[in-house]
Amino acid sequence: KNEITGFDSHFLWGGATAANQVEGAFDKDGKGLSTADMVPYIPKSKRGMNMAMDVTSEYIEDVLAGKREDRFPKRDGVDFYHRYKEDIALFAELGFKVFRLSINWARIFPNGDDAKPNEKGLQFYENVFKELKKYKIEPLVTLSHYETPLALTRKYNGWYSRDVIGFFTRYAETVFTRYKDLVKYWLTFNEINVMTHSPYTGGGVLIDRVPNKTSDQIAYQAVHHQFVASAIATKLAHEIIPGSQVGCMLARMQTYPVTNHPDDILKAQRDNDLNLFFTDVHAKGEYPSYMNRFFAENEIVIEKEAEDDTILKQYPVDFISFSYYMSISVTTHGDHEDTVGNLVKGAVKNQYLESSDWGWQIDPKGLRVTLRDFHNRYGKPLFIVENGLGAYDTVETDGTIKDTYRMDYLKQHIEQMKEAVKDGVNLLGYTAWGPIDLISMSTSEMSKRYGFIYVDQDDEGNGTLNRSKKASFAWYKNVIATNGEEL
């Protein structure tokens, strides 16, 4: 029968987190400091719509010397380190088939370049993976989610140094060997393209330490090192864990032209290329020719070793994963209001879309566009590993939280995801971002919530950390139970 159906029975439904945003226990059991531990909370009144992710060398040294009074919310997270059993039980109740989490590299190699791994760190993740196994929840593990060991930043300037490739691949080999019977799905670098927006976040790179170079010149060199490291990690995973699947991860910025003026079309096409460059290298195993001109015009010369191109070509990723929160609109005409100021410079308002309280333009159909584009460009399996609505939640006097806005957002995106699957896209799964409230990556706020599970903690770090179910909890549970039929 010629019937077009939705998700197959193996579709991986779940949720996604990152170690530095949930775990806390930043200095427990031998963990070293990571880059995320140095990012302060700056209230919105002082920060405006800007992201607060970048720090300088001077700031880091001042913090270490005890000269700053700032609070660092990612050091405390939401205490997943001690409450993982309770949290995983809730994920199991939601019916998760998959749970995306990251390993904090600095728990395993506290300084990044240590001779031996930290056993207590290894044990922690083994406990977590075993707890997931109890409920038949498949872990999807990110090796690097904005958590470079701070010592690598101070000693080597993070990923700007080629030396870090060796430290990373040793870390990857260590965790592949240790968890080979527990983890099959791996991601190498979270949102690898973020390096070009924030080299400190993306790779522990401090721009102020490289005189006479632009931020782009530094970032693309650091990204090159990550590409090589990712390819070597992919090779190692395949050797150590038969049947393992390794993916790359992109913050997808689907970009539309505001008008049908050919200049706008070309601008959008170019911006899309600059975003898809990262998945092009990961998936096709070579630098695309359109980058030659960009590199030449920006005086970027990537220093490569002789073997790099062969390594990239030999070990492409098995699947493409990405985060999707919004779309971007661009124009060559100067008369449009800049509304997406906290994320992408130069992006302008799309009159057909609404925005979140943080100015992110909500575009469910853009997800379908993205999925179709990826599918046509690569023909590889896809995995949506982040999607969701950061929003303020209100706890009613009876303790309930009626987050209908969150359900609406997710429903509309899942609908489009279903359409894309019907269009023929090969989609492995969907992990909603932050199934449990966590610390915001870009603003270190607690009040920018994504969860089905509420965590009692405010922006200042006050609260019981108690977990409770929002209205969206029962809703998402039913979505999974009906394999996306009832939304």
Tell me the pairing of strands 453-455 and 467-469: antiparallel
Which is nearer to ligand BG6, 440 or 472 (by Cβ)?
440
Task: Please identify which residue in the block is written with the tokens 């993205």.
Answer: 370
Q: Which residues contact 478 (CB under 8 A, 6 or more apart)?
A: 486
Give SS3 for 111: coil
Q: C-beta of 38: minimal distance to ligand BG6 in Å?
A: 16
Closest-by-Cβ residue to ligand BG6 is: 442
In the stretch 308-347, what mask flags binding to ligand BG6 with x, by CB under 6 A?
A: ---------------x------------------------
Q: C-beta of 145: minimal distance to ligand BG6 in Å?
A: 6
In the stretch 237-276, what mask flags binding to ligand BG6 with x, by CB under 6 A?
A: --------------x-------------------------
- Look at residues 437, 480, 319 and name the one whose alpha carbon lies nearest to residue 17: 437
Which is nearer to ligand BG6, 239 or 357 (by Cβ)?
357
Which is nearer to ligand BG6, 18 or 246 (by Cβ)?
18
Is 143 a binding residue for ligand BG6 by CB under 6 A? The answer is no
Annotation marks residue 386 as catalytic: yes
Tokens representing 244 are 């393992």
Is 104 a binding residue for ligand BG6 by CB under 6 A? The answer is no
Distance of CA 292 to the CA centre of its chain: 27
Kind and range of the H or E element at 179?
none
Using only C-alpha atoms, the chain has a radius of gyration, in whole angstroms, of 21
Point out which span in 2-10, 285-293, 421-429, 434-442 binds ligand BG6 (CB under 6 A): 434-442
Burial label for 164, CB within 10 Å (0-12, 13-18, 19+), is buried
CA–CA gap between residue 43 and residue 448 (Å, rounded): 12
Tokens representing 371 are 């999925």
Is 190 a binding residue for ligand BG6 by CB under 6 A? The answer is yes
Q: Which residue among 390, 429, 435, 484 contacts ligand BG6 (CB under 6 A)?
A: 390
- Look at residues 457, 418, 413 and name the one whose alpha carbon lies nearest to residue 439: 457
Is 441 a binding residue for ligand BG6 by CB under 6 A? The answer is yes
Indicate if the alpha-carbon torsion angle 480, 484, 486, 487 is positive or negative: positive
- Look at residues 259, 258, 271 and name the one whose alpha carbon lies nearest to residue 348: 258
Q: C-beta of 463: minimal distance to ligand BG6 in Å?
A: 18
Q: C-beta of 310: minimal distance to ligand BG6 in Å?
A: 30
Is 74 a binding residue for ligand BG6 by CB under 6 A? The answer is no
- Look at residues 473, 407, 430 and name the one whose alpha carbon lies nearest to residue 98: 430
| Count of chain residues binding ligand BG6 (CB under 6 A) | 14
Kind and range of the H or E element at 75?
helix 73-76
Q: Which residue among 147, 386, 403, 459 contacts ligand BG6 (CB under 6 A)?
A: 386
Q: Which residue among 153, 350, 416, 440 contacts ligand BG6 (CB under 6 A)?
A: 440
Q: C-beta of 445: minimal distance to ligand BG6 in Å?
A: 8
Q: Which residues are catalytic?
A: 386
State the residues that interact with ligand BG6 by CB under 6 A: 18, 21, 190-191, 251, 323, 386, 390, 433, 440-443, 448
